[in-house]
Amino acid sequence: GESVGLHLPTLSVQEGDNSIINCAYSNSASDYFIWYKQESGKGPQFIIDIRSNMDKRQGQRVTVLLNKTVKHLSLQIAATQPGDSAVYFCAEGGRGSTLGRLYFGRGTQLTVWP
């Protein structure tokens, strides 16, 4: 089946630094990508998404970069804060007859140190 994976299962950063969370996807037909943040014991929260016709999309303190050539996705968080500590998931979707389905990676645990 399809797989969406993450290069690093854990990431620790100092408060105020920038964070970069990486994600590799396997299906070149995927045309929609999304990042979620999940705090302990809670449901995933939408952060930002991007379609395959874009390379970059910015939100508030977050930027998603998409490199279709190497099938790589990254989430950049500027000026990381303790409240950013959570597990971050990427997911891919938008494939033909499975429209609406998302395929999730295992997640990266981000820890922000004061």
Contacts with another protein, residue ranges (CB under 8 A): 1, 4, 32, 34, 36, 41-46, 49, 89, 91, 93-94, 99-102, 104-107
Q: Which is nearer to another protein, 45 or 67 (CB)?
A: 45
Q: Which is nearer to another protein, 3 or 18 (CB)?
A: 3
Rounded least distance, CB 114 to another protein, Å: 25
DSSP for residue 45: E
What is the Cα–Cα distance from 100 to 14, expressed in whole angstroms? 37
Q: Which is nearer to another protein, 52 or 76 (CB)?
A: 52
Rounded least distance, CB 98 to another protein, Å: 9
Rounded least distance, CB 46 to another protein, Å: 6
Q: Which is nearer to another protein, 67 or 98 (CB)?
A: 98
Rounded least distance, CB 68 to another protein, Å: 17
Question: 3-28 burial, b if ≥16 CB within 10 A, otherwise e?
Answer: ebebeeeebebeeeeebebbbbbeee
What is the Cα–Cα distance from 103 to 79, expressed in whole angstroms? 29
